[in-house]
């Protein structure tokens, strides 16, 4: 894969997911913890998955980022509860991995283009 | 992906004086509303709810806001005010109408948000889903989400519940805005739909709840169906078999790019699964909407409705089977049952409470009437949009199927609201023909808008906050609930007077929670009900705690189940019994311990 063809937003999204996931797991002061958790659990995975779809309408993009982020987190959390393996830390790690995997898939698209 | 309908009016390039004045007026009305609402003292002692105690400056703020919106909507010959100004005014409207209670108190309204926090807490404590506990554990999706977000963010659960209505309505509005972009190309209509959606949203379903989450996802599904997954239909040539087959085969996708449709389909399927795992009613609403639009030929993937049906049936047959085994979904079906539980049973109580209920009904009927007139008008002019009609009308199909605890009509009116609002725009902002540009409203029409919107706002505030005498809690009441939680050992019965009681958010599974109205459904007199309550608490191995709050007493009185005197007699009878001791009291609450 030609990594030079990968866009900066894709790289930034993947790096942000990795760094913020670690930060949330380690713990941050009160308002930062909430903001970072919202980013890692909902916004970054939502954005990464939305970027896999060729959506161009900004309003629809904003809607899909929120809907995909919330729906994926719900699916992941519910599955973990049914499998009795839930912990919020496991959810943070899983959502971080989903974001990075989505970024890799996007990177492949960009490199191939 | 499929482009939305293009606006006929180009966006204005520069900020004008009108934009700046509208933005400033919006800020002023927000400040005035927040300040005036914060002067309300608790407890609220009016059976009209919050409207009985809100000071005049609050209504001045509502009037200023509606005048500002109409001025911004009217704009100039080029179109309405700039989008950031319109977004700002809608945001102010959300804060004023749905955040009013936040300015009055720092305790969430109602009981259910507290209960939902307790369920999320119980899930995270047990790290397992036990469907035998109650219905919520058969549809745990939303609670799993809340448990994860609360634990990872470290946010105070009560603060999250307090702000949930504002957050949820903001999410809904974003989704309604996208849906509307696929249904009308006129920017004035698009903004007006959002305004009417706020003004007609008295249903109070936006608290921290699975239905609020489900409604958001429902709107996203509708947006995808009307957008990337939409189909265009050929000319309809009759109901003969061959004609129908030709019509069905003649459909074409609205979005010509297969990759776009596949990604939209994948997202839709994920959303349908999550909706099915999170809420009982919403999947049926999705299924009905999908079926109606598919039969109208407006959905390109024709088998999507079958897939949605299979997902719903699988969820009911496996994860939710425990609950359904004891609660057949059509057990209380029938039009008469639905009317009794949704309408007749709700029109009881004090004069003020009955007036509030009547205003809720009047507001719904007013919007539906406007929508019906708009529909007839569009039909006569040959540009009725069948999609809007179907989405507005089809939720009604669920009315006779389930009474849903007397709340079915409320849910139906919420699911229909975005499309009722859009159809009502055909009256307020009429177009003369298909594709015809909508004219700038005249000054006379603008005056009528202001009066109409102010009236709707007053009705919505009345409807939403009409139960404030018993669903807005004081800090004293919260102190009493917290004290009971600390005093009561595991397995103890905690008996409150009535719903709503702000309980179960801390130890959902630790105690047996009952209310006096549950134990004595038909007669709350001291002679009949007293022995039942006393016996129930006395025979509980771990004992019982009687939690009597000002709000729950008001709930019984306002809804006509007892009188203040009758309630006092019941309390006196109970407090005179052996083994019953007052263990906590303040100006809004008493707690009695009943020994086993």
Summarised one tens digit per residue, pLDDT across range B90-130 is: 999 999 999 998 999 999 999 999 999 999 999 999 999 99
Task: For chain A, list residues whose CB is within 8 angstroms of any CB belonging to chain B.
Answer: 24, 30, 33-34, 37-38, 40-41, 52-57, 59-60, 62-64, 66-68, 70-75, 77-78, 80-82, 84-88, 91-92
Residues in chain B with CB shorter than 8 Å from the CB of A92 are 152
Per the structure, the count of domains in chain A is 1
Q: What is the pLDDT of residues B129-163, one digit of tens each?
A: 999 999 999 999 999 999 999 999 999 999 999 99
The span from the CA of B31 to the CA of B29, in Å, is 5
Q: How far is CA B130 from the centre of its chain?
A: 27
Residue found under tokens 């300015």? B103
| Count of pairs with CB atoms under 8 A, one residue in A, one in B | 127
Residues in chain A with CB shorter than 8 Å from the CB of B220 are 63-64, 67
Asked whether B550 and B511 are in contact (CB, 8 A), the reply is no
Closest chain B CA to residue A51? B263
Q: What is the pLDDT of residues B59-97, one digit of tens each?
A: 999 999 999 999 999 998 888 999 999 999 999 999 999
Nearest Cβ partner of B154 from A34, A71, A77? A34
Domain that holds residue A62: 3-112
CA distances for B206 relative to A63, B94, B112, B199, B464, angstroms: 18, 12, 11, 14, 10
Classify residue A22 by burial, with Cβ atoms within 10 Å: 0-12, 13-18, 19+.
middle
Q: What is the pLDDT of residue B434?
A: 55
Averaged pLDDT of chain A = 95
Nearest Cβ partner of B145 from A68, A73, A84? A73
- Asked if B127 lies within 8 A of A81 by C-beta distance, the reply is yes
Asked whether B95 and B89 are in contact (CB, 8 A), the reply is no
Residues 6+ apart with CB under 8 A from A79: none
Nearest Cβ partner of B128 from A33, A66, A84? A84
Closest chain A CA to residue B262? A53
pLDDT band (50, 70, 90) for residue A1 = low
- Asked if B148 lies within 8 A of A82 by C-beta distance, the reply is no
Per-residue pLDDT for B1 more than 50?
no
Asked whether A91 and A38 are in contact (CB, 8 A), the reply is no
- Give the three-state DSSP class for B10: coil
Which residue, among B9, B567, B50, B108, has the nearest Cα to B356 in the 3D structure? B50
Per-residue pLDDT for B339 more than 90?
no
Q: What is the pLDDT of residues B480-536, one digit of tens each?
A: 999 999 999 999 999 999 999 999 998 899 999 999 989 998 889 999 999 999 999
| Domains delineated in chain B | 17-105+156-208+328-469 (no CATH), 473-594 (3.40.50)
Name the region of B300 (left: φ>0; alpha: ψ -120 to 50; beta: rest).
Answer: alpha
Please, what's the b/e burial string for B183-205 (b: 16 or more CB within 10 A of its CB; e: otherwise)? Answer: bbbbbbbbbbbbbbbbbbbbbbb
Phi, psi of B579 (to 5 degrees): 80, 5
Averaged pLDDT of chain B = 92
Nearest Cα of chain B lies from the Cα of A55 at a distance, in angstroms, of 5
């Amino acid at each position: 894969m030609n990594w030079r063809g990968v866009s900066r937003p894709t790289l930034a999204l993947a790096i942000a997911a990795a760094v913020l996931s670690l930060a949330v797991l380690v713990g941050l002061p009160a308002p930062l913890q909430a903001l970072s958790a919202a980013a890692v659990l909902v916004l970054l995975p939502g954005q990464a998955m939305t970027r896999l779809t060729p959506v161009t309408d900004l309003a629809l993009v904003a809607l899909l980022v929120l809907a995909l982020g919330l729906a994926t987190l719900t699916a992941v959390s519910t599955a973990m509860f049914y499998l009795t393996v839930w912990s919020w830390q496991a959810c943070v790690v899983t959502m971080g991995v989903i974001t990075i995997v989505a970024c890799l898939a996007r990177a492949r698209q960009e490199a191939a283009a | 992906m499929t482009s939305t309908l293009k606006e006929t009016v180009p966006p204005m390039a520069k900020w004008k004086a009108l934009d700046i004045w509208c933005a400033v007026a919006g800020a002023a009305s927000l400040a005035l509303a927040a300040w005036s609402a914060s002067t309300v003292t608790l407890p609220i002692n009016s059976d009209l709810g919050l409207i009985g105690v809100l000071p005049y400056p609050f209504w001045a703020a509502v009037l200023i806001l509606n005048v500002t919106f109409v001025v911004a909507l009217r704009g100039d010959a080029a179109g309405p005010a700039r989008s950031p100004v319109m977004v700002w005014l809608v945001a102010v409207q959300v804060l004023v109408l749905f955040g009013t209670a936040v300015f009055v108190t720092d305790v969430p309204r109602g009981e259910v948000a507290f209960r939902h926090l307790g369920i999320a807490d119980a899930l995270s404590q047990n790290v397992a889903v036990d469907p035998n506990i109650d219905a919520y554990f058969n549809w745990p999706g939303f609670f799993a989400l809340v448990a994860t977000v609360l634990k990872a963010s470290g946010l105070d659960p009560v603060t999250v519940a307090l702000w949930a209505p504002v957050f949820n309505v903001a999410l809904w509005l974003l989704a309604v805005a996208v849906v509307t972009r696929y249904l009308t190309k006129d920017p004035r209509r698009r903004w007006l739909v959002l305004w009417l959606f706020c003004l007609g949203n008295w249903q109070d379903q936006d608290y921290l709840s699975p239905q609020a989450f489900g409604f958001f996802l429902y709107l996203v599904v509708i947006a995808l169906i009307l957008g990337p997954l939409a189909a265009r239909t050929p000319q309809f040539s009759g109901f003969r078999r061959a004609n129908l087959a030709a019509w069905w085969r003649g459909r074409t996708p609205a979005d010509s790019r297969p990759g776009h449709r596949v990604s939209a389909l994948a997202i839709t399927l994920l959303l349908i699964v999550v909706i099915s795992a999170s809420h009982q009613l919403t999947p049926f609403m999705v299924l009905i909407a999908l079926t109606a639009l598919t039969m109208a030929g407006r959905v390109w993937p024709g088998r999507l409705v079958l897939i949605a049906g299979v997902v719903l049936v699988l969820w009911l047959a496996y994860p939710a089977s425990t609950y359904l085994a004891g609660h057949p979904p059509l057990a209380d079906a029938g039009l008469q049952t639905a009317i009794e539980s949704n309408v007749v049973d709700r029109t009881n109580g004090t004069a003020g409470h009955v007036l509030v209920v009547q205003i809720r009904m009047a507001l719904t009927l007013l919007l539906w009437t406007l929508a019906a007139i708009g529909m007839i008008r569009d039909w006569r002019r040959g540009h009725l949009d069948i999609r809007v009609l179907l989405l507005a009308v089809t939720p009604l199909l669920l009315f006779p199927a389930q009474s849903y605890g007397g709340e079915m009509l409320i849910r139906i009116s919420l699911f229909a609201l975005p499309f009722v609002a859009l159809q009502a725009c055909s009256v307020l902002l009429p177009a003369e023909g298909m594709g015809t540009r909508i004219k700038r409203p005249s000054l006379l029409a603008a005056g009528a808008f202001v009066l109409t919107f102010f009236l709707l706002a007053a009705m919505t505030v009345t409807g939403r906050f009409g139960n404030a005498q018993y669903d807005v809690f004081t800090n004293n009441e919260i102190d009493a609930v917290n004290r009971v939680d600390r005093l009561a050992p595991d397995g103890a019965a905690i008996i409150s007077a009535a719903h709503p009681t702000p309980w179960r958010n801390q130890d959902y599974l630790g105690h047996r929670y009952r209310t006096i109205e549950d134990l004595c459904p038909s007669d709350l007199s001291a002679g009949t009900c007293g022995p039942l309550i006393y016996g129930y608490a006395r025979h509980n191995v771990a004992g019982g705690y009687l939690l009597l709050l000002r709000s729950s007493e008001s709930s019984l009185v306002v809804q006509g189940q007892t009188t203040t005197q009758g309630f006092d007699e019941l309390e006196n009878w109970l407090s005179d019994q052996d083994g019953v001791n007052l263990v906590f009291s303040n100006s809004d609450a008493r707690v009695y311990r009943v020994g086993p």
